[in-house]
Amino acid sequence: MNRTFLKTLILALPVFFLSSQATADIGVSIVFSSGEISIIQNWYREHRTTSGRGHGKGKPKGLPPGIAKNLARGKPLPPGIAKQYLPAGLQSVLPRLPDGFERIIVDGKVLIVEIATHLIHDVLMDAIL
């Protein structure tokens, strides 16, 4: 019996020492569904004049190219980045994300971010017109 326990323990140990990246690769991915994409795009299309975009003078300035390039799936959110939360009306019609995740807006892109690690799980590029 002790031998069986020891074999099981030895076989199970590598599982405990997997890197966080490896466990993220085998875990469930949190991404925008086609339904969520449709809801977000339609919401911004219907609320274009009240969403804050399209008002003011000229084209709004984006992020510097080096920082904008880092707004990608699998990368951490750059520190000190200006983020906004989705409007309450839009949040209320979207399905709830699993605990520990949030949808935010950065530089006109809608992101799903893991709160604890600031890891970007998905990016919706052209939702906000």
Which pLDDT score, from 0 to 100, does residue 64 have? 87
Q: Which domains does the chain have, with CATH numbers?
A: 31-124 (3.10.450.160)
CA 23 to chain centre: 17
Average pLDDT (92-111) is: 95
Which pLDDT score, from 0 to 100, does residue 68 have? 87
Helix locations, 17-116, DSSP H: 20-26, 34-46, 65-69, 88-93
Which pLDDT score, from 0 to 100, does residue 126 have? 81
pTM higher than 0.75: no
Convert the pLDDT of each residue in 14-64 to its tens digit: 443 333 344 344 455 899 999 999 999 999 999 876 444 444 444 456 788
Which percentage of the chain shows pLDDT scores above 70?
67
Do the beta carbons of residue 90 and residue 40 sit within 8 Å? yes
Residues 6 or more apart whose CB falls under 8 angstroms from that of 45 comprise: 129
Beta bridge partners of 98: none
Do the beta carbons of residue 86 and residue 104 sit within 8 Å? yes
